[in-house]
Amino acid sequence: MKYLSQKKGFLGYDANHNLNPKVIVVPFGLEKTVSYGGGTKNGPKEIIKASHQVELFDEELNKEPYKEIGIKTLKPFSIKKDIKKALSQLSQINKKIITDNKFPLVLGGEHSITPGSIEPILSKYGDLTLLHFDAHADLRESYQGEKFSHASAIKRCLDYKNVKVVSFGIRNLSKPEMDFYENNRDRIKIFWGKDKKNWDFSQIEESFKNETVYITFDVDGFDSSIMPATGTPEPGGLMWEDVLPIIKKVCQISKVVGADINELAPIKNFNSYNFLVAKLAYKILAYTFEFKN
């Protein structure tokens, strides 16, 4: 695998060449099944570009987390045109990363990347709980004739019997998705967007304690007032302050082994949205490695 220089990669920092990197950032701008607004193929490069403006010091953790983590970023590469081949391509990349005992952070692209991303991780660990942020349940069997649609991302993940999902911020789903959820409550837990003021953190602990966890973050999980730069924005969503305590808590009580952030569709000259996602990515890594042991 070929890498960008540290200055051109995620965070754009001067490298400590003696540091063995623990994280590999994978830019994977897959855009095959978007169903409203487009532009997710440009998400990874804009996240990386914006990350160069993220302050490396974390005032909450009182350190510069990147110095303890080490981060390398794959050079952009051609993504297979067929969606199943593209997902297989991502699986092979992540397999290599986790075989080398590194942490994969995949920057999408549309949400359909997630089942491909988790395949080798599930093979390695056996069981996996998804920490899922989204406006949509993504539990459709197919959408517009495509089984691997972004609207079916979580359903495809649940095709693996040893996967469970805990979703936060859901506020838009179809009747068949609701029926599937009701029939699979043993594998799916939803913290509804409409109830966020009453979320019970003890239930979060029950869902994640001592679990092996993969974080999948669709940026439309954020309220559309702070994240309009996405193909299917929704009102009534999550704010920055809603999201961070959940990620932090999960990182404290479980083993987080990989993550993806997807569905950013950059808007020209509105860099704050790209910056928000870049800072979110850094925060996920900071929490993951702060509490890893």
116 pLDDT more than 90 = yes
Q: Is the pTM of this model over 0.85?
A: yes
Q: State the pLDDT at residue 36.
A: 53
Is the domain defined by 23-290 classed in CATH 3.40.800.10? yes
User: Which tens digits make up the pLDDT trace of 166-191?
Assistant: 999 999 999 999 999 999 999 999 99
Q: State the pLDDT at residue 144.
A: 79
The end-to-end CA distance of the chain, in Å, is 28
Whether the Cβ atoms of residue 222 and residue 26 lie closer than 8 Å to each other: no
Residue whose token pair is 């995949």:
106
Average pLDDT (151-174) is 96
User: Which tens digits make up the pLDDT trace of 123-134?
Assistant: 999 999 999 999
Average pLDDT (240-248) is 98
CA distance linking residue 186 with residue 248, whole number of Å: 24
Residues contacting residue 240 through CB under 8 Å, at least 6 positions apart: 222, 226, 276
Q: State the pLDDT at residue 145.
A: 80
3-class DSSP assignment, residue 119: helix
